[in-house]
Amino acid sequence: MKPKVAFYWCASCGGCEEAVIDLAEKVLDVVAAVDIVFWPVALDFKTKDVEAMADGSIVATFLNGAIRNSEQEEMAHLMRRKTQVLIAFGSCAQLGGIPGLGNLWNRETIFNEVYRDSPALVNPDGVFPVTEHRDNGHTLRLPRFFDTVRTLDQVVDVDYYLPGCPPTPNLIEQAIGALLSGKLPPKGSVLAPDLALCEECSRRDTKPEKLSLEAFHRPSEVLIDESKCILSQGVPCLGPATRSGCGAQCVEGNMPCTGCFGPTSRVRDAGAKSLSAIASMAASNDEAEIERILAGIPDPAGMFYRYSLPASRLRRKRQEAV
Amino acid sequence: MPEPFEPKIVAFFCNWCTYLAADLAGTSRLRYAPNARVVRVMCSGRIDPQFVLDAFARGADGVLIGGCHPGDCHYQEGNYKCLRRFQLLKRLASQMGIEDDRLRLEWISASEGERVRTVMNDMVEKVRALGPLGRRKEVEEEAVVA
Amino acid sequence: MSKHIVIDPVTRLEGHGRIEIFLDDAGQVERAVFQVPELRGFEKFAQGRPAEDMPQITSRICGVCPMAHHMAATKALDDLYKVDPPPAAKKIRELAYTTFMAEDHALHFYFLGGPDFIVGPRAPAAERNVLGVIARVGEATGRKVIAVRKRLRAVMAAIAGKAIHPVFGLPGGVAKRVTPEQQEEFKAAAEEAVEFAKFTLGAFEKIVLGNAEYVDLICSDMFTHRTYYMGMVDESNRVNFYDGQLRVAGPDGVEWAKFDTGRYLDYIGEHVEPWTHVKFCYLKAVGWNGFEEGAASGVYSVAPLARLNVAAGMATPAAEAAREQFFATLGPGPVHHTLANHWARVIEMLYAAERMRELAADADLTDPHVRNLPTATPREGVGVVEAPRGTLFHHYQTDEKGLIQKANLIVATQNNGARISMSVEKAAKGLITGGEVPEGLLNMVEMAFRAYDPCFGCATHAQGAAPISIRVWKPGERRACPHVYQVKAS
């Protein structure tokens, strides 16, 4: 009997699903080796089919997306129960991802934006959606929307992490291979090389030994030379503080790394570490001049915590300050 | 009767300057607010912004960094590194809702025991006025309630 | 006999959803509700971000159509900074975009909606998917589908950095030039894409149009709604995915409006119902009159069928011939049969492939001048494209440093929200008429939304769950919603 495998998505975009489909012809080898028992984007199995399975009968579940509402939390618990090896699949599940930027706000401010302050909105009666609606004897429920986005491991025990937004097909293929052969690293490992991205970047040889920058430029302000280290050109690139494994695709596209693979194992708060690396490069010892240079980074939280705010040490902006 | 709020300050002091100054304040029997938990580092340049955020996440209401005056760093440039990181970290902390007075950098040389007292008293009062940061409680509760 | 049936989750689409079906004592459908429980909040957490980050941030609204968000955002940046990209940049952008349209439409046909027809709507659940499609069309054809898709994805990645979450969009152009070697591959890939699109159209004609039962289903009243339609067209009123004006046609097919994309707020309103999270788009001048079709209701539709309905033609020859055959078969325009979206989609795939071939052969493509740097102070910008699933609007207001102060996103499937609700309701009512409800029948209810190729991650970008509730009202209840609900503070 083939081992059972499942895929599920929480607060996500479907990009991780597309990454699996981007295995292309290798997907056929995968489906020959495993039995996919749940994958809403592609297959018609329903949640009740999963509930009917015996606990632990699914060998591996790839769970992507952050935990934004109560339904996603319940699904995380369900999949954990039914699965032997639970893999946090992609940046959102591992670190909170881009939906994690919602942690700079909360439910009230978000609802107000959408149902009260939106430009095209016509809502004279101030109608807002609710978690329980009764009409004509029927009850319709919506999940509870949390104030705070959480990572998967803040909700359930996670066995492995596949980083990236999305994880690249080569890493997915390796992870599946490791699962099927039983040659898995220690529990809790991130299934990608434990090196910084600069190691695999094709522009590595043009990166100076000491990076000392007189200015930071926003990509909209300058033309980026296609052959030189992007950071050396003064455009913040998070390669030095980001885990490798992606092939430096963004740099190949002539844009800086934005940190989606998250930190290496030696870092606890990805944003703080990349902030430290970048700030250290300001070429001045004078407070006012340093301020001028750092003004080239107008949005530290959005730059350094783009994918990792829920996983950060502070997790979210103080509620009182929202 | 509820306990009045006593701010918890985590202070990172560099070994060669500020920590000695704090020692000097002690041997000079200068009294000042006892709210700080002092962590000695070899250089202010050793301070990883992660330490600062970690302190706040574990319940600190304020974080104070003390290093050598510009030009006096025992390791030449370490304090400048600290300065650059600190300036960007301050802006990040502000975006995270941490008020300006809770995160502070001071240059205090080994002979400036008096300055340790002044800075510490001032910071404690400012943080007392702001109230508890409350991050530890929030972080723990989010694990349960979100 | 069950009085309450739940389809959870809906499958073979992007996004989350569930369908609740309530039966009366006679086993008839009293009410069918489509709920989408997800929501993330892009419009809110965009605030404070540098505008140039928006193409990469908003692409995370959807990993199936990230190129659409990336492109709408990039065009909004052009408008924000009042900077016009050089010709090569526009062609590079459109080449990546049209390649994406061809690939995404192919994905839907073979992986998402197509299985219902190729394998059969009531085939066992375990076969109603791409693997069942491969089993039906044969492994050689199946491998061909996979290989062509892979090649198109490689073209997108070569131009845009990544196929999933592109990086190349900047105000005034793109980040990277195209090399002559790359252009050779793009030309070859485009040839293959055109052949493949023709093959897919042929497969559709054989498998779907050659099956009388399917044709009856497509033309059935159960899957038909007579609404307004909206789509982007060029100056000759031909379908254009990348740029143009927006044209709206009435249920009678006559042009109702044609406007510059920057004026969308004059035309489109968002309606909130107390029992759902998604906001329903409608034509403001007509007004919101409930989940109704017809000229007196502001409900309108977007995406392939709508685009064919509002256009006077396709801009490339093979696609135009296919379009003419479409209307010759299903009657003079407009075509109101929702399932005809599947056919329209394949015709659009052919146009996208032919357009890819035109752009790939363009001599300007390898011009190294791919960017004009912005000089103006940013203030406000609107960027609109036709995403695979409908018209996509990005609208930003910034401060003088270009940090987002306000973002308004009206996203493809949202435009279709009301009509999707109506389609699921009508299909449920038509299909479930008492007695046992086999699983295959429930799948046919799902087919009512699958035709739109919906993307609920897109539709619910706004933070705070945007479920789409589709309700079947009892006669007489249709228009009034007597209850007003306030969000519970908690």
Using a CB-CB distance cutoff of 8 angstroms, which residues of chain C are in contact with residue A90? none
Query: Nearest-CA distance from C93 to chain A in Å?
Result: 13
Smallest Cβ–Cβ distance between C31 and the set A47, A69, A138 belongs to A138
Closest CA to C199 of C304, C119, C128, C102: C102
Contact predicate B52/B44, CB 8 Å: no
Average predicted confidence (pLDDT) for chain B: 93
DSSP β-ladder status, C29-35 and C380-387:
unpaired
Distance from CA of C212 to the nearest CA of A (A): 25
Cα first-last separation, chain C: 38
Nearest CA in chain C to A114: C462
B partners (3+ CB pairs within 8 A) are A
Beta bridge partner(s), residue C282? C269
| Chain A contact probe: residue of B85, B88, B105 with most A CBs at under 10 A | B88
Which of C6, C16, C460 has the most A C-beta neighbours within 10 Å, making it the best mutation to test the interface with A? C16
pLDDT in tens, C260-283: 999 999 999 999 887 777 889 999
* Model confidence pLDDT, tens digit, residues B112-134: 999 999 999 999 999 999 999 98
Q: Collect all residues of chain A within an 8 Å Cβ-Cβ radius of residue B139.
A: 314-315
C-beta atoms surrounding C254 within 10 Å = 10
Cβ count within 10 A of residue A186: 6
Residue type, A265: S
Calculate how close chain A gets to C411, using CA atoms only, in Å. 12
Q: Please tell me which of the candidates C61, C167, C273 has its beta carbon nearest to residue A255.
A: C167
Task: Tell me which residue has tokens 């937004």.
Answer: A165
* Closest Cβ opposite residue B50 in set A269, A278, A321: A269
Interface partners of A (3+ CB pairs, < 8 Å)?
A: B, C
Question: What is the pLDDT, as a whole number, of residue C487?
Answer: 23
**Sign of the alpha-carbon dihedral angle for C204, C205, C210, C215:** positive
pLDDT at C465 over 80: no
Domain ranges of chain A: 4-99+147-181, 110-146, 195-322
**3-state SS assignment for residue C253:** coil
**Smallest CA–CA separation between B49 and chain A, in Å?**
6
Average pLDDT over residues C202-217: 92
Among A148, A273, A275, beta carbon nearest to B88: A275
The reported pLDDT for the residue numbered C370 is 98
Q: How is residue A65 written in tokens?
A: 């997306």
The residue of chain B with its CA nearest to that of A104 is B96
Q: Which residue has the higher pLDDT, A33 or C468?
A: A33
Q: What is the pLDDT of residues C308-337, one digit of tens each?
A: 999 999 999 999 999 999 999 998 889 999
Cβ-contact B67, B14 below 8 angstroms: yes
Q: Of residues A181 and C128, which shows the higher confidence score?
A: A181
In angstroms and rounded to an integer, the radius of gyration of the C-alpha atoms of chain A is: 22
Tokens of C487: 């969000």
**Which residues in B lie closer than 8 A to residue A290 (C-beta atoms)?**
83-84, 87
Count A/B contacts: CB-CB distance under 8 Å: 111
Helix (H) or strand (E) holding C152: helix C139-160
For residues C175 and A220, what is the distance between their CA atoms, to the nearest angstrom?
A: 10
- Superfamily of A4-99+147-181 according to CATH: NADH:ubiquinone oxidoreductase-like, 20kDa subunit (3.40.50.700)
CA distance A108 to chain C (A): 8
A228-254: pLDDT as tens digits: 999 999 999 999 999 999 999 999 999
- Among the partner-chain residues A148, A150, A275, the one whose CB lies closest to the CB of B89 is A275
Give the C-alpha distances (Å, rounded to integers) separating A130 from C100, C182, C278, C467, C483.
Answer: 37, 52, 12, 11, 12
Q: How far apart are CA C301 and CA C415, in angstroms?
A: 6
Note whether B104 contacts A: Cβ–Cβ < 8 A: no
Taking CB atoms and an 8 Å limit, are A272 and B96 in contact across chains?
Answer: no
At residue B10, the pLDDT reads 98
Q: How do beta strands C245-249 and C255-259 pair?
A: antiparallel
State residue B140's pLDDT score: 61
Q: Does the distance separating the beta carbons of C272 and A115 come in below 8 Å?
A: yes
Q: Cβ contact (<8 Å) for A275 and B134?
A: no
pLDDT at B142: 56
Most A CBs within 10 A among B44, B58, B73, B85, hence the mutation to make, goes to: B85
Instruction: For residue B135, give how far its alpha carbon lies from the nearest alpha carbon of chain A (Å).
Output: 7
pLDDT bracket for residue C468 (50, 70, 90): very low
Q: Looking at residue C477, what is its pLDDT? A: 36
Which string of DSSP letters, residue by residue, matches B44-84?
Answer: GGG--HHHHHHHHHTT-SEEEEEEPPTT--TTSSHHHHHHH
A273 touches chain B (CB under 8 A): yes
Q: What's the average model confidence in pLDDT over C74-83?
A: 98
Report in angstroms the alpha-carbon separations of C190 from A159, C96, C141, C352.
Answer: 43, 11, 19, 10
* Rounded mean pLDDT, C105-130: 85
Distance CA C309, CA C250 (A): 10
Closest CB from C7, C271, C462 relative to A122: C271
pLDDT of A269 strictly over 50: yes
R_g over Cα of chain B: 15
DSSP A247-290: --HHHHTTS----TT---TT-S-HHHHHHHHHHHTB--S-HHHH
The pLDDT, as a whole number, for residue C30 is: 86
Q: Is residue A105 classed exposed, middle or buried when 0-12, 13-18 and 19+ CB atoms within 10 A define those classes?
A: buried
Q: What is the reported pLDDT for C490?
A: 26
Fold (CATH) for C4-459: Cytochrome-c3 Hydrogenase; chain B (1.10.645)
Question: Helix or strand or coil: residue C135?
Answer: helix
- CA-CA distance, C74 to C95, in Å (whole number)? 15
Q: CB of B95 within 8 A of CB of A297?
A: no
The DSSP code for C110 is: I
pLDDT of residue C475: 38
Chains A and C form CB pairs within 8 A to the count of 309
Whether the per-residue pLDDT at A265 is higher than 80: the answer is: yes
**For C23-42, what is the mean pLDDT?**
84
Shortest Cα distance, chain A CAs vs residue C130, angstroms? 7
Answer yes or no: do A220 and C170 touch at CB < 8 A. yes
CA distance C195 to chain A (A): 20
CA–CA dist A43, C111 (Å, integer): 9
Report the predicted TM-score, pTM, of the whole model to 2 decimal places.
0.94
pLDDT number for residue C114: 83
Which amino acid would we find at residue C372?
Answer: N
Residue among A5, A10, A43 with most chain C CBs within 10 A, to mutate: A43
Over 50: is that where the pLDDT of C473 sits?
no
Question: Which stretches of chain B score pLDDT less than 70?
Answer: 137-146
Which among A275, A280, A317 has the least Cβ separation from residue B97? Answer: A317
Contacts of A314 in chain B (CB under 8 A): 53, 56-57, 96, 135, 139
Q: Which of A147, A271, A313 sits opposite B146 (nearest CB)?
A: A147
CB atoms within 10 A of CB A299: 20
Residue of A113, A123, A218 lying closest to C50 (CB–CB) = A218
Confidence of residue C471 (pLDDT cuts 50, 70, 90): very low
Please give the C-alpha separations between residue A297 and each of A309, B49, C336, in angstroms, as whole numbers: 18, 17, 51
Contact: B89, A318; criterion CB under 8 Å: no
Name which of A211, A315, A317, A319 to mutate to probe chain B: the one with the most chain B Cβ atoms within 10 A of its Cβ: A315
Return mean pLDDT, chain A. Answer: 95
pLDDT at site B67: 97
Token pair, residue C395, equals 């609208």
Q: What are phi and psi of C202, to 5 degrees?
A: -60, -40
Question: A162-176, C224-238, C274-288, C362-376: which has the minimum mean pLDDT?
Answer: C274-288
Interface predicted TM-score of the whole assembly (ipTM), two decimals: 0.97
Distance from CA of A223 to the nearest CA of B (A): 25
Instruction: Find the mean pLDDT for residues A280-286.
Output: 97
**For residue C489, what pLDDT is reported?**
26
Q: What is the mean pLDDT of chain C?
A: 89
- Radius of gyration for the alpha carbons in chain C, expressed in angstroms and rounded: 22
CATH topology of domain B9-142: Rossmann fold (3.40.50)
HSE, side-chain direction, 13 A CA sphere, residue C199: 14
